[in-house]
Amino acid sequence: MNIPFLGNWRKKRDPAGGAEAFPEGGNDHEGVAGLLSECELLRSQAHRAGIELDDTVASLEALDQLLPRWRDDEESLTWLGNDAGLYLGTVIVRTVPGAVWEVWRDGRPVVRLASGREIDVVVSGHEWAASGVPELSQLYAEVAES
């Protein structure tokens, strides 16, 4: 996934193959988190279904219960998968101690846990949007335990 507006933030490659999400000397984790948490299509779908996306585990559980009406529309499926992954990452970053966003050199946002483990949440979001498995709340539980 290429996110052009993050291009200037991907300055320095690290040994793990990622890239810093901030310019040298910068520390704008909240700015990156804000940009990646927008998830406009997912928020719109959730709102129409009466679900409030409040960056909690409960909202992930509610999303898992949505009827997957988007699966017949390939374009919506792609965007919704991106949004679902970014929203999962948003919940992880905001609720799991030490979790932060990192943007790889190729533009993919991943979540890095305090342990150093990286989670490609966008791939997980696409899998959820396409098949519902694994559930977003299940993925969160696995990450929160590690």
Convert the pLDDT of each residue in 80-120 to its tens digit.
999 999 999 999 999 999 999 998 888 889 999 999 999 99
Listed range (67-76, 125-134, 137-146) with the worst mean pLDDT = 67-76
- Give the start-end residues of each E strand in 54-126: 100-103, 109-112, 118-119
- pLDDT confidence of residue 29: 67
Domains, the chain, in order of start with CATH, read 4-145 (1.20.120)
- pLDDT confidence of residue 28: 64
Query: What pTM was computed for the model?
Result: 0.79
- pLDDT confidence of residue 27: 53
Q: Is the four-CA dihedral 60, 62, 63, 64 of positive or negative sign?
A: positive
Over residues 125-136, the mean pLDDT reads 94
Sheet holding 109-112, edge to edge: 100-103, 109-112, 118-119
Convert the pLDDT of each residue in 1-53 to its tens digit.
444 444 443 333 344 444 444 444 445 667 777 888 889 999 999 999 999 99
Regarding predicted confidence, which is higher, 74 or 3? Answer: 74
Regarding predicted confidence, which is higher, 53 or 75? Answer: 53
